[in-house]
Structure 1
Amino acid sequence: MRDIPVHQLKERASTGLEVWRYSPDDPEDDVVMDAHRDDHYIFFVIENGTASLMIDFQEVFFPPQTLYYVLPGQVHHRIYNEMAGGWFIAVDTMLVPPDCRKVFEGKLEIQQPHTLSDVKMDQCRLLLNLLHQRFVEDDGAPFNLPVLHSLLQSFIGIAAGCFTCAESPTIQVSRPIEIAQQFKKTLVDNICTVKSPSAYADILRVSESYLNESLKKVTGMSVSYWILNEVMLEAKRLLYYSQLNVKEVAHRLGYDDHAYFSRIFKKSEGITPLSFRAAYRK
Protein backbone atom coordinates (compact mmCIF):
# COMPACT_ATOMS: atom_id res chain seq x y z
CA MET A 1 0.00 0.00 0.00
CA ARG A 2 1.24 3.49 -0.87
CA ASP A 3 -0.58 5.33 1.93
CA ILE A 4 -0.46 4.94 5.69
CA PRO A 5 -2.79 2.03 6.53
CA VAL A 6 -6.01 2.88 8.34
CA HIS A 7 -7.29 0.16 10.67
CA GLN A 8 -11.07 0.03 10.87
CA LEU A 9 -12.67 -1.27 14.02
CA LYS A 10 -15.76 -2.55 12.21
CA GLU A 11 -13.57 -5.11 10.45
CA ARG A 12 -12.68 -6.67 13.82
CA ALA A 13 -15.66 -6.06 16.06
CA SER A 14 -19.40 -5.82 15.51
CA THR A 15 -20.08 -4.35 18.95
CA GLY A 16 -18.16 -1.10 18.44
CA LEU A 17 -15.41 -2.02 20.86
CA GLU A 18 -12.58 -4.42 21.53
CA VAL A 19 -11.00 -5.09 24.91
CA TRP A 20 -8.22 -7.39 25.99
CA ARG A 21 -5.55 -7.71 28.63
CA TYR A 22 -1.87 -7.96 27.72
CA SER A 23 1.13 -9.13 29.72
CA PRO A 24 4.92 -9.29 29.24
CA ASP A 25 4.56 -12.95 28.23
CA ASP A 26 2.34 -12.23 25.22
CA PRO A 27 3.97 -12.94 21.83
CA GLU A 28 4.59 -9.90 19.62
CA ASP A 29 2.37 -9.33 16.60
CA ASP A 30 4.57 -8.07 13.76
CA VAL A 31 1.60 -6.95 11.70
CA VAL A 32 0.18 -4.49 14.22
CA MET A 33 3.70 -3.24 15.00
CA ASP A 34 3.64 -1.43 11.64
CA ALA A 35 2.86 2.28 11.63
CA HIS A 36 -0.82 2.92 11.05
CA ARG A 37 -3.80 5.10 11.80
CA ASP A 38 -7.04 3.98 13.42
CA ASP A 39 -10.55 5.19 12.66
CA HIS A 40 -11.37 4.81 16.35
CA TYR A 41 -10.11 5.66 19.83
CA ILE A 42 -7.62 3.48 21.66
CA PHE A 43 -7.16 3.53 25.43
CA PHE A 44 -4.29 1.95 27.37
CA VAL A 45 -4.26 1.24 31.08
CA ILE A 46 -0.83 0.22 32.37
CA GLU A 47 -1.24 -1.76 35.58
CA ASN A 48 2.37 -2.72 36.24
CA GLY A 49 5.78 -2.45 34.64
CA THR A 50 6.73 0.14 32.01
CA ALA A 51 5.84 0.58 28.34
CA SER A 52 6.25 3.09 25.52
CA LEU A 53 4.51 4.16 22.34
CA MET A 54 5.77 6.04 19.27
CA ILE A 55 3.04 8.46 18.24
CA ASP A 56 3.41 11.22 15.64
CA PHE A 57 7.22 11.22 15.92
CA GLN A 58 7.20 11.46 19.72
CA GLU A 59 7.98 8.56 22.02
CA VAL A 60 5.71 8.52 25.05
CA PHE A 61 6.71 6.51 28.12
CA PHE A 62 4.25 4.86 30.52
CA PRO A 63 5.20 4.16 34.14
CA PRO A 64 3.02 1.83 36.27
CA GLN A 65 -0.58 2.85 36.98
CA THR A 66 -1.07 5.16 34.02
CA LEU A 67 -3.90 5.88 31.61
CA TYR A 68 -3.39 6.99 28.01
CA TYR A 69 -5.38 7.34 24.80
CA VAL A 70 -4.74 7.62 21.06
CA LEU A 71 -7.05 9.74 18.93
CA PRO A 72 -8.50 8.62 15.58
CA GLY A 73 -6.10 9.53 12.80
CA GLN A 74 -2.93 9.77 14.88
CA VAL A 75 -0.06 7.74 13.38
CA HIS A 76 1.40 5.23 15.83
CA HIS A 77 2.93 1.81 16.25
CA ARG A 78 1.87 -1.02 18.53
CA ILE A 79 2.52 -0.27 22.19
CA TYR A 80 5.90 -1.62 23.37
CA ASN A 81 4.80 -3.52 26.45
CA GLU A 82 7.46 -6.24 26.77
CA MET A 83 7.89 -5.17 30.41
CA ALA A 84 4.30 -4.24 31.22
CA GLY A 85 0.89 -5.66 31.95
CA GLY A 86 -2.36 -3.84 31.37
CA TRP A 87 -5.37 -3.25 29.18
CA PHE A 88 -6.08 -2.33 25.55
CA ILE A 89 -9.50 -0.87 24.68
CA ALA A 90 -10.53 0.11 21.14
CA VAL A 91 -13.71 2.20 20.89
CA ASP A 92 -15.84 3.37 17.98
CA THR A 93 -16.01 7.18 18.05
CA MET A 94 -19.80 7.12 18.09
CA LEU A 95 -19.66 5.44 21.52
CA VAL A 96 -17.63 8.29 23.02
CA PRO A 97 -20.01 10.93 24.44
CA PRO A 98 -19.63 14.45 22.97
CA ASP A 99 -18.56 15.94 26.31
CA CYS A 100 -15.84 13.32 26.64
CA ARG A 101 -14.69 13.85 23.05
CA LYS A 102 -14.31 17.53 23.86
CA VAL A 103 -11.89 16.57 26.63
CA PHE A 104 -9.90 14.07 24.60
CA GLU A 105 -9.76 16.08 21.38
CA GLY A 106 -9.15 19.45 23.00
CA LYS A 107 -5.39 18.91 23.32
CA LEU A 108 -3.19 21.18 21.24
CA GLU A 109 -0.17 18.94 21.67
CA ILE A 110 0.45 15.22 22.07
CA GLN A 111 -1.54 14.09 25.09
CA GLN A 112 0.42 12.96 28.13
CA PRO A 113 -0.15 9.84 30.27
CA HIS A 114 -2.25 10.35 33.39
CA THR A 115 -1.08 8.76 36.63
CA LEU A 116 -3.93 6.91 38.33
CA SER A 117 -4.40 6.99 42.08
CA ASP A 118 -4.72 3.65 43.88
CA VAL A 119 -8.48 4.18 44.10
CA LYS A 120 -8.86 5.03 40.40
CA MET A 121 -6.60 2.11 39.45
CA ASP A 122 -8.77 -0.29 41.45
CA GLN A 123 -11.92 1.13 39.82
CA CYS A 124 -10.48 0.74 36.33
CA ARG A 125 -9.24 -2.78 37.05
CA LEU A 126 -12.62 -3.95 38.36
CA LEU A 127 -14.52 -2.23 35.56
CA LEU A 128 -12.27 -3.54 32.79
CA ASN A 129 -12.37 -7.09 34.15
CA LEU A 130 -16.17 -6.97 34.06
CA LEU A 131 -16.15 -5.30 30.63
CA HIS A 132 -13.88 -8.01 29.26
CA GLN A 133 -16.06 -10.73 30.80
CA ARG A 134 -19.11 -9.38 29.01
CA PHE A 135 -17.13 -8.76 25.81
CA VAL A 136 -16.11 -12.40 25.40
CA GLU A 137 -19.64 -13.64 26.12
CA ASP A 138 -22.09 -14.37 23.31
CA ASP A 139 -23.15 -10.99 21.97
CA GLY A 140 -26.52 -12.47 21.14
CA ALA A 141 -27.36 -12.99 24.81
CA PRO A 142 -30.29 -10.90 26.10
CA PHE A 143 -29.25 -7.32 26.98
CA ASN A 144 -25.56 -8.13 26.56
CA LEU A 145 -24.87 -5.27 24.14
CA PRO A 146 -26.50 -2.49 26.20
CA VAL A 147 -24.74 -3.80 29.33
CA LEU A 148 -21.46 -3.88 27.42
CA HIS A 149 -21.91 -0.30 26.23
CA SER A 150 -22.97 0.89 29.67
CA LEU A 151 -19.79 -0.52 31.20
CA LEU A 152 -17.80 1.10 28.43
CA GLN A 153 -19.46 4.47 29.09
CA SER A 154 -18.45 4.18 32.74
CA PHE A 155 -14.82 3.61 31.81
CA ILE A 156 -14.81 6.48 29.29
CA GLY A 157 -16.36 8.75 31.92
CA ILE A 158 -13.62 7.88 34.41
CA ALA A 159 -10.95 8.47 31.74
CA ALA A 160 -12.41 11.84 30.69
CA GLY A 161 -12.69 12.84 34.34
CA CYS A 162 -9.02 12.03 34.92
CA PHE A 163 -7.84 14.15 32.00
CA THR A 164 -10.25 16.96 32.82
CA CYS A 165 -8.95 17.16 36.38
CA ALA A 166 -5.37 17.00 35.21
CA GLU A 167 -5.88 19.80 32.73
CA SER A 168 -8.39 22.09 34.43
CA PRO A 169 -9.00 21.56 38.16
CA THR A 170 -11.52 24.43 38.21
CA ILE A 171 -13.59 22.73 35.46
CA GLN A 172 -14.35 26.18 34.03
CA VAL A 173 -13.12 26.67 30.45
CA SER A 174 -12.10 30.17 29.44
CA ARG A 175 -13.02 31.70 26.10
CA PRO A 176 -9.40 31.60 24.81
CA ILE A 177 -9.16 27.87 25.66
CA GLU A 178 -12.47 27.22 23.92
CA ILE A 179 -11.30 29.13 20.84
CA ALA A 180 -8.00 27.21 20.86
CA GLN A 181 -9.81 23.88 21.04
CA GLN A 182 -12.18 24.82 18.23
CA PHE A 183 -9.25 26.00 16.15
CA LYS A 184 -7.43 22.68 16.60
CA LYS A 185 -10.45 20.68 15.46
CA THR A 186 -11.00 22.98 12.48
CA LEU A 187 -7.30 22.91 11.61
CA VAL A 188 -7.11 19.12 11.51
CA ASP A 189 -10.20 18.92 9.30
CA ASN A 190 -9.10 21.60 6.83
CA ILE A 191 -5.29 21.65 6.77
CA CYS A 192 -5.03 20.36 3.20
CA THR A 193 -7.25 23.11 1.81
CA VAL A 194 -7.09 26.05 4.25
CA LYS A 195 -3.77 27.55 5.34
CA SER A 196 -4.60 31.20 5.97
CA PRO A 197 -4.99 32.53 9.56
CA SER A 198 -7.70 34.92 8.38
CA ALA A 199 -9.64 32.04 6.80
CA TYR A 200 -9.64 30.10 10.09
CA ALA A 201 -10.73 33.26 11.91
CA ASP A 202 -13.64 33.58 9.48
CA ILE A 203 -14.62 29.93 10.00
CA LEU A 204 -14.58 30.40 13.77
CA ARG A 205 -16.33 33.78 13.48
CA VAL A 206 -13.71 35.71 15.43
CA SER A 207 -11.24 38.38 14.38
CA GLU A 208 -7.82 37.26 13.22
CA SER A 209 -6.17 39.28 16.00
CA TYR A 210 -8.36 37.65 18.68
CA LEU A 211 -7.68 34.17 17.31
CA ASN A 212 -3.96 34.87 17.37
CA GLU A 213 -4.16 36.35 20.87
CA SER A 214 -6.09 33.30 22.13
CA LEU A 215 -3.62 30.80 20.66
CA LYS A 216 -0.64 32.69 22.09
CA LYS A 217 -2.28 32.90 25.52
CA VAL A 218 -3.16 29.19 25.65
CA THR A 219 -0.16 27.67 23.83
CA GLY A 220 2.49 30.37 23.64
CA MET A 221 2.48 30.06 19.84
CA SER A 222 0.75 31.95 17.02
CA VAL A 223 -1.90 30.77 14.58
CA SER A 224 0.68 30.70 11.78
CA TYR A 225 2.94 28.49 13.88
CA TRP A 226 0.16 25.92 14.44
CA ILE A 227 -0.86 25.92 10.78
CA LEU A 228 2.71 25.28 9.66
CA ASN A 229 3.16 22.72 12.44
CA GLU A 230 0.13 20.76 11.25
CA VAL A 231 1.27 20.92 7.62
CA MET A 232 4.75 19.69 8.53
CA LEU A 233 3.42 16.96 10.78
CA GLU A 234 1.19 15.59 8.03
CA ALA A 235 4.01 15.98 5.50
CA LYS A 236 6.38 13.97 7.72
CA ARG A 237 3.72 11.30 8.26
CA LEU A 238 3.29 10.90 4.49
CA LEU A 239 7.01 11.04 3.70
CA TYR A 240 7.93 8.47 6.32
CA TYR A 241 4.98 6.09 6.39
CA SER A 242 3.75 6.15 2.78
CA GLN A 243 5.33 5.54 -0.62
CA LEU A 244 4.07 8.81 -2.12
CA ASN A 245 6.77 10.82 -3.87
CA VAL A 246 7.41 14.45 -2.92
CA LYS A 247 5.21 15.79 -5.70
CA GLU A 248 2.34 13.54 -4.59
CA VAL A 249 2.84 14.53 -0.96
CA ALA A 250 2.76 18.21 -1.93
CA HIS A 251 -0.42 17.68 -3.95
CA ARG A 252 -2.04 15.73 -1.09
CA LEU A 253 -1.35 18.70 1.18
CA GLY A 254 -2.86 21.18 -1.26
CA TYR A 255 0.29 22.52 -2.94
CA ASP A 256 0.24 22.61 -6.73
CA ASP A 257 3.89 23.73 -6.80
CA HIS A 258 5.92 20.90 -5.25
CA ALA A 259 9.11 22.99 -5.48
CA TYR A 260 7.49 25.61 -3.23
CA PHE A 261 6.41 22.88 -0.83
CA SER A 262 10.00 21.57 -0.72
CA ARG A 263 11.32 25.05 0.06
CA ILE A 264 8.99 25.61 3.01
CA PHE A 265 9.69 22.10 4.28
CA LYS A 266 13.45 22.73 4.23
CA LYS A 267 13.03 26.14 5.87
CA SER A 268 10.91 24.61 8.66
CA GLU A 269 12.75 21.31 9.21
CA GLY A 270 16.30 22.22 8.12
CA ILE A 271 16.46 19.40 5.54
CA THR A 272 14.73 18.58 2.26
CA PRO A 273 11.75 16.21 2.15
CA LEU A 274 13.87 13.50 0.49
CA SER A 275 16.63 13.89 3.07
CA PHE A 276 14.06 13.58 5.84
CA ARG A 277 12.68 10.39 4.29
CA ALA A 278 16.18 8.92 3.91
CA ALA A 279 17.18 9.83 7.47
CA TYR A 280 14.08 8.26 9.05
CA ARG A 281 14.15 5.11 6.92
CA LYS A 282 17.63 3.93 7.86
Structure 2
Amino acid sequence: MKATAPPSYPLSPLARAGVLVRPLAQRPAPSEHPHGTAHRDAHYLLVLLQAGELRLTLDFEELTLSGPSLLLISPGQVHRLREAVAAQGWGVSFEPGLVDEQARDVLEQHLRRPVALVGQATFEARAHTLLALLADCQTEATAPIGPALQAMLAALLQLVTALLVPAMTSSGANVSRAEALVQGFRRLLRQHFTEWKQPARYAAALAVTPSHLNDTVKALSGHSISTHLQQRIILEAKRLLYYSDQPVKQIGYALGYDEPVYFGKLFKKVTGLTPQQFRRTIRE
Protein backbone atom coordinates (compact mmCIF):
# COMPACT_ATOMS: atom_id res chain seq x y z
CA MET A 1 0.00 0.00 0.00
CA LYS A 2 1.39 3.37 -1.03
CA ALA A 3 0.80 6.10 1.54
CA THR A 4 1.58 9.79 1.53
CA ALA A 5 1.59 12.20 4.43
CA PRO A 6 -1.88 13.62 5.13
CA PRO A 7 -2.23 17.14 3.72
CA SER A 8 -2.50 20.05 6.12
CA TYR A 9 -5.00 22.72 5.17
CA PRO A 10 -5.22 26.38 6.21
CA LEU A 11 -8.48 28.05 7.06
CA SER A 12 -10.89 28.32 4.14
CA PRO A 13 -10.55 31.39 1.90
CA LEU A 14 -14.22 32.01 2.71
CA ALA A 15 -13.33 32.83 6.34
CA ARG A 16 -13.50 36.40 7.56
CA ALA A 17 -11.26 37.75 10.32
CA GLY A 18 -10.08 34.20 11.04
CA VAL A 19 -13.58 32.76 11.57
CA LEU A 20 -15.88 30.65 9.41
CA VAL A 21 -19.29 29.31 10.50
CA ARG A 22 -21.52 27.03 8.47
CA PRO A 23 -24.50 24.74 9.05
CA LEU A 24 -23.51 21.08 9.09
CA ALA A 25 -26.04 20.35 6.35
CA GLN A 26 -24.32 22.81 3.99
CA ARG A 27 -21.96 21.25 1.47
CA PRO A 28 -18.38 22.62 1.29
CA ALA A 29 -17.66 25.10 -1.47
CA PRO A 30 -15.56 23.90 -4.45
CA SER A 31 -12.69 26.13 -3.27
CA GLU A 32 -12.41 24.27 0.04
CA HIS A 33 -10.55 21.11 0.93
CA PRO A 34 -12.33 17.73 0.91
CA HIS A 35 -13.52 16.47 4.29
CA GLY A 36 -13.93 12.82 3.30
CA THR A 37 -10.21 12.10 3.05
CA ALA A 38 -7.71 11.98 5.91
CA HIS A 39 -6.15 15.37 6.56
CA ARG A 40 -4.98 17.84 9.18
CA ASP A 41 -6.08 21.41 9.69
CA ALA A 42 -3.98 24.36 10.79
CA HIS A 43 -6.99 25.69 12.68
CA TYR A 44 -9.60 24.57 15.22
CA LEU A 45 -12.96 23.11 14.26
CA LEU A 46 -15.68 23.19 16.91
CA VAL A 47 -18.75 21.11 16.05
CA LEU A 48 -22.15 21.57 17.69
CA LEU A 49 -24.23 18.58 16.57
CA GLN A 50 -27.85 19.23 17.49
CA ALA A 51 -29.48 16.24 15.78
CA GLY A 52 -28.52 13.26 13.63
CA GLU A 53 -25.15 11.51 13.55
CA LEU A 54 -21.60 12.17 12.43
CA ARG A 55 -19.23 9.26 11.86
CA LEU A 56 -15.58 10.14 11.65
CA THR A 57 -12.06 8.95 12.25
CA LEU A 58 -9.98 11.05 14.63
CA ASP A 59 -6.38 10.02 15.27
CA PHE A 60 -6.98 6.29 14.68
CA GLU A 61 -10.23 6.21 16.65
CA GLU A 62 -13.59 5.60 15.01
CA LEU A 63 -16.15 7.97 16.54
CA THR A 64 -19.91 8.19 16.17
CA LEU A 65 -21.44 11.41 17.44
CA SER A 66 -25.14 11.58 18.19
CA GLY A 67 -26.88 14.88 18.72
CA PRO A 68 -26.86 16.85 20.84
CA SER A 69 -23.09 16.86 21.41
CA LEU A 70 -19.91 18.91 21.12
CA LEU A 71 -16.61 17.98 19.52
CA LEU A 72 -13.35 19.88 19.08
CA ILE A 73 -10.80 18.99 16.40
CA SER A 74 -7.49 20.67 17.18
CA PRO A 75 -4.75 21.78 14.78
CA GLY A 76 -2.62 18.83 13.71
CA GLN A 77 -5.13 16.10 14.48
CA VAL A 78 -5.61 13.72 11.56
CA HIS A 79 -9.31 13.31 10.84
CA ARG A 80 -11.76 12.18 8.19
CA LEU A 81 -15.52 12.47 7.95
CA ARG A 82 -16.89 9.04 7.03
CA GLU A 83 -20.60 9.75 7.01
CA ALA A 84 -23.15 12.35 8.03
CA VAL A 85 -26.64 11.02 8.79
CA ALA A 86 -29.32 13.74 8.88
CA ALA A 87 -26.81 15.93 10.71
CA GLN A 88 -28.08 19.26 11.95
CA GLY A 89 -26.05 21.85 13.78
CA TRP A 90 -23.02 24.01 13.20
CA GLY A 91 -19.31 23.86 12.55
CA VAL A 92 -17.11 26.85 13.38
CA SER A 93 -13.51 26.97 12.19
CA PHE A 94 -11.17 29.54 13.69
CA GLU A 95 -7.52 30.49 13.84
CA PRO A 96 -5.61 29.40 16.99
CA GLY A 97 -4.45 32.97 17.59
CA LEU A 98 -8.03 34.00 18.38
CA VAL A 99 -8.13 31.80 21.50
CA ASP A 100 -6.45 32.89 24.72
CA GLU A 101 -4.16 30.32 26.30
CA GLN A 102 -6.40 29.59 29.27
CA ALA A 103 -9.44 28.84 27.10
CA ARG A 104 -7.25 26.84 24.73
CA ASP A 105 -6.05 24.62 27.56
CA VAL A 106 -9.61 24.00 28.76
CA LEU A 107 -10.89 23.22 25.27
CA GLU A 108 -8.09 20.83 24.41
CA GLN A 109 -8.17 19.09 27.78
CA HIS A 110 -11.94 18.68 28.19
CA LEU A 111 -13.00 18.27 24.56
CA ARG A 112 -10.47 15.60 23.63
CA ARG A 113 -13.52 13.37 23.33
CA PRO A 114 -17.10 14.26 22.34
CA VAL A 115 -19.21 15.76 25.11
CA ALA A 116 -22.90 14.84 25.19
CA LEU A 117 -25.26 17.78 25.72
CA VAL A 118 -28.21 15.85 27.11
CA GLY A 119 -29.85 18.07 29.73
CA GLN A 120 -28.01 21.17 28.45
CA ALA A 121 -30.89 22.79 26.57
CA THR A 122 -30.02 26.30 27.78
CA PHE A 123 -26.42 26.03 26.63
CA GLU A 124 -27.48 24.53 23.31
CA ALA A 125 -30.00 27.30 22.66
CA ARG A 126 -27.51 30.06 23.49
CA ALA A 127 -24.76 28.47 21.39
CA HIS A 128 -27.17 28.06 18.47
CA THR A 129 -28.18 31.72 18.70
CA LEU A 130 -24.57 32.89 18.66
CA LEU A 131 -23.63 30.60 15.78
CA ALA A 132 -26.63 31.65 13.72
CA LEU A 133 -25.75 35.29 14.32
CA LEU A 134 -22.13 34.62 13.36
CA ALA A 135 -23.26 32.91 10.16
CA ASP A 136 -25.51 35.84 9.32
CA CYS A 137 -22.91 38.52 10.03
CA GLN A 138 -20.16 36.84 8.02
CA THR A 139 -22.25 37.44 4.88
CA GLU A 140 -22.04 41.22 5.41
CA ALA A 141 -20.26 42.50 2.32
CA THR A 142 -19.58 46.13 3.13
CA ALA A 143 -19.27 46.88 6.85
CA PRO A 144 -15.98 46.18 8.71
CA ILE A 145 -17.48 43.17 10.49
CA GLY A 146 -14.26 41.42 11.58
CA PRO A 147 -14.11 42.70 15.19
CA ALA A 148 -17.76 41.74 15.72
CA LEU A 149 -17.17 38.21 14.40
CA GLN A 150 -14.21 37.75 16.71
CA ALA A 151 -16.16 39.12 19.68
CA MET A 152 -18.98 36.66 19.04
CA LEU A 153 -16.49 33.81 18.71
CA ALA A 154 -14.98 34.81 22.08
CA ALA A 155 -18.48 34.80 23.63
CA LEU A 156 -19.16 31.35 22.19
CA LEU A 157 -15.90 29.93 23.51
CA GLN A 158 -16.62 31.46 26.92
CA LEU A 159 -19.96 29.65 26.93
CA VAL A 160 -18.20 26.40 26.08
CA THR A 161 -15.47 26.77 28.71
CA ALA A 162 -18.06 27.66 31.34
CA LEU A 163 -19.95 24.48 30.43
CA LEU A 164 -16.81 22.35 30.66
CA VAL A 165 -15.38 23.99 33.79
CA PRO A 166 -18.25 25.73 35.62
CA ALA A 167 -16.01 27.39 38.21
CA MET A 168 -13.86 29.07 35.58
CA THR A 169 -14.25 32.82 35.04
CA SER A 170 -12.93 35.00 32.28
CA SER A 171 -10.52 36.61 34.73
CA GLY A 172 -9.01 33.28 35.65
CA ALA A 173 -9.38 34.09 39.36
CA ASN A 174 -10.60 30.61 40.16
CA VAL A 175 -7.66 28.82 38.57
CA SER A 176 -5.40 27.49 41.31
CA ARG A 177 -1.62 27.69 41.21
CA ALA A 178 -1.47 23.97 40.59
CA GLU A 179 -3.90 24.20 37.66
CA ALA A 180 -1.98 27.13 36.20
CA LEU A 181 1.25 25.14 36.46
CA VAL A 182 -0.27 22.16 34.65
CA GLN A 183 -1.66 24.45 31.96
CA GLY A 184 1.80 25.94 31.50
CA PHE A 185 3.29 22.47 31.17
CA ARG A 186 0.71 21.51 28.53
CA ARG A 187 1.52 24.61 26.51
CA LEU A 188 5.23 23.89 26.59
CA LEU A 189 4.64 20.25 25.69
CA ARG A 190 2.55 21.29 22.70
CA GLN A 191 5.37 23.55 21.51
CA HIS A 192 8.51 21.56 22.36
CA PHE A 193 7.72 17.83 22.52
CA THR A 194 10.12 17.01 19.68
CA GLU A 195 12.96 18.94 21.33
CA TRP A 196 12.59 18.68 25.10
CA LYS A 197 12.76 15.10 26.29
CA GLN A 198 13.65 15.68 29.95
CA PRO A 199 11.19 16.82 32.65
CA ALA A 200 13.87 19.19 33.94
CA ARG A 201 13.59 21.30 30.76
CA TYR A 202 9.91 21.93 31.39
CA ALA A 203 10.49 22.58 35.09
CA ALA A 204 13.22 25.12 34.36
CA ALA A 205 10.99 26.96 31.89
CA LEU A 206 8.26 27.14 34.55
CA ALA A 207 10.68 28.13 37.35
CA VAL A 208 9.89 25.16 39.61
CA THR A 209 11.76 22.02 40.61
CA PRO A 210 11.32 18.88 38.49
CA SER A 211 9.88 16.96 41.44
CA HIS A 212 7.31 19.66 42.21
CA LEU A 213 6.23 19.88 38.57
CA ASN A 214 5.99 16.12 38.23
CA ASP A 215 4.01 15.73 41.48
CA THR A 216 1.60 18.49 40.45
CA VAL A 217 1.06 17.18 36.93
CA LYS A 218 0.51 13.65 38.23
CA ALA A 219 -1.88 14.77 40.97
CA LEU A 220 -4.10 16.70 38.55
CA SER A 221 -3.88 14.51 35.45
CA GLY A 222 -3.09 11.06 36.83
CA HIS A 223 0.05 10.74 34.72
CA SER A 224 3.69 11.74 35.13
CA ILE A 225 5.50 14.21 32.89
CA SER A 226 7.35 11.36 31.21
CA THR A 227 4.07 9.59 30.41
CA HIS A 228 2.58 12.73 28.88
CA LEU A 229 5.71 13.19 26.78
CA GLN A 230 5.73 9.58 25.64
CA GLN A 231 2.03 9.68 24.72
CA ARG A 232 2.51 12.83 22.64
CA ILE A 233 5.57 11.42 20.86
CA ILE A 234 3.92 8.08 20.12
CA LEU A 235 0.75 9.70 18.78
CA GLU A 236 2.79 11.73 16.29
CA ALA A 237 4.86 8.66 15.44
CA LYS A 238 1.68 6.69 14.67
CA ARG A 239 0.47 9.45 12.39
CA LEU A 240 3.74 9.46 10.45
CA LEU A 241 3.95 5.66 10.28
CA TYR A 242 0.44 5.33 8.89
CA TYR A 243 0.11 8.34 6.65
CA SER A 244 3.62 8.49 5.19
CA ASP A 245 6.20 6.15 3.74
CA GLN A 246 9.11 7.74 5.59
CA PRO A 247 11.62 5.18 6.91
CA VAL A 248 11.33 4.51 10.63
CA LYS A 249 14.79 6.00 11.14
CA GLN A 250 13.70 9.26 9.51
CA ILE A 251 10.56 9.41 11.65
CA GLY A 252 12.68 8.97 14.76
CA TYR A 253 14.93 11.82 13.66
CA ALA A 254 11.89 14.05 13.00
CA LEU A 255 10.67 13.39 16.55
CA GLY A 256 14.01 14.28 18.11
CA TYR A 257 15.68 10.88 18.48
CA ASP A 258 19.20 10.58 17.10
CA GLU A 259 19.35 6.88 17.98
CA PRO A 260 16.84 4.85 15.91
CA VAL A 261 17.24 1.88 18.23
CA TYR A 262 16.12 3.92 21.24
CA PHE A 263 13.12 5.27 19.34
CA GLY A 264 12.13 1.74 18.35
CA LYS A 265 12.41 0.49 21.92
CA LEU A 266 10.30 3.38 23.23
CA PHE A 267 7.62 2.75 20.61
CA LYS A 268 7.44 -0.94 21.50
CA LYS A 269 7.39 -0.21 25.22
CA VAL A 270 4.34 2.04 24.82
CA THR A 271 2.43 0.17 22.10
CA GLY A 272 3.61 -3.42 22.39
CA LEU A 273 4.67 -3.35 18.71
CA THR A 274 7.76 -2.28 16.86
CA PRO A 275 7.24 0.68 14.48
CA GLN A 276 7.43 -1.72 11.50
CA GLN A 277 4.87 -4.07 13.06
CA PHE A 278 2.52 -1.16 13.78
CA ARG A 279 2.81 0.09 10.19
CA ARG A 280 2.01 -3.35 8.77
CA THR A 281 -0.86 -3.95 11.18
CA ILE A 282 -2.55 -0.58 10.74
CA ARG A 283 -2.40 -0.84 6.93
CA GLU A 284 -3.83 -4.34 6.64
| TM-score bracket for this pair, using the shorter chain length | 0.7 to 0.9
- 8 Å contact 2:16–2:138 — kept in the other structure? no
| Structure 2 residue aligned with 1:6 | 8
Question: What is the aligned partner in structure 1 of residue 52 from structure 2?
Answer: 49
Distance in structure 2 (CA, Å) of the matches to 1:220 and 1:17 = 35
1:147 counterpart = 2:115: no
Matched to 1:146, the amino acid is P
Contact 1:40 1:72 survives alignment (8 Å) = yes
Alignment correspondent of 1:66: 69
Aligned counterparts, 1:26-45, within 5 A:
31-45=34-48
Tell me whether 129-138 or 40-49 shows the greater mean CA deviation. Answer: 129-138
SS in 1 for 2:70: strand
Q: Which amino acid aligns with 1:21?
A: P
The aligned runs of 1:151-190 (5 Å cut-off) are 151-165=152-166, 172-190=174-192
Pairwise CA distance, 1:237: 1.3
CA–CA separation in structure 2 for the residues paired with 1:40 and 1:11? 13
The alpha carbon displacement at 1:48 in A equals: 0.8
Give the Å deviation of 1:192. Answer: 0.9
- Counterpart residue type for residue 203 of structure 1: A
Residues 144/198 of structure 1: CA separation in 2 closer, same or farther (3 Å cut): closer
One-letter code of the match for 1:127? L
User: Compared with structure 1, are the counterparts of its residues 237 and 118 closer, same or farther at alpha carbon in structure 2 (3 Å cutoff)?
Assistant: same
Secondary structure of 1:18's aligned partner:
strand
Change (3 A) 1:58 1:78: same
Counterpart of 1:19 (choices 10, 21, 29) is 21
Could you report, residue by residue, the CA deviation over 1:49-82 in whole angstroms, capped at 9, with x for unpaired residues?
A: 2324432233444332222222222222237432
Amino acid at match of 2:190: V
Q: What secondary structure, in the 3-state scheme, does the structure 2 residue paired with 1:9 have?
A: coil
Which of 107, 120, 125 pairs up with 1:104? 107
Point out the structure with the larger helix share: 1
* 2:216 corresponding residue in structure 1: 214
Counterparts of 1:166 and 1:54, CA distance in 2: 32
Taking structure 2 as the reference length, the TM-score comes to 0.85
Cα deviation, 1:234-268, whole Å, max 9, x if unaligned, reads: 11111112232211101101112212211221122
Partner of 2:197: 195
Task: State whether residues 108 and 184 of structure 1, in contact with CA within 8 Å, keep that contact through their aligned partners in structure 2.
Answer: no
CA distance in 2, matches of 1:220, 1:73: 24
* Inter-partner Cα distance in structure 2 for 1:108 and 1:274: 33
Q: Distance between the aligned counterparts of 2:111 and 2:20, measured in 1?
A: 26
Q: Does 1:82 align with 2:76?
A: no
Structure 1: gaps spanning 5 or more residues? none
Deviation at 1:281, TM superposition (A): 1.6
Tell me which moved more, 143-152 or 258-267: 143-152
Report SS of the residue matched to 2:223.
Answer: coil
The match for 1:120 is 123
Q: Flag the 1:269–1:96 CA change in 2: closer, same or farther, 3 A.
A: same
Cα 1:49–1:269, aligned 2, differ >3 Å: closer, same or farther? same
Aligned-partner Cα distance in 2 for 1:95–1:188: 17
How far 1:128 moved relative to its partner? 1.5
The answer (yes or no) to whether the contact 1:100–1:156 under 8 Å persists in 2 is: yes
Cα 1:57–1:204, aligned 2, differ >3 Å: closer, same or farther?
farther
**Alpha carbons of 1:53 and 1:163: their partners in 2 closer, same or farther (altered >3 Å)?**
farther
1:211–1:59 distance in 2 versus 1, CA, 3 Å: farther
2:263 aligned partner: 261
- Does the CA-based 8 Å contact 1:10-1:16 persist in structure 2? no
The answer to whether residue 137 in structure 2 is matched with residue 134 in structure 1 is yes
When normalised by structure 1's length, the TM-score is 0.86
Partners of 2:53 and 2:87 within 8 A in 1: yes
SS in 1 for 2:276: helix
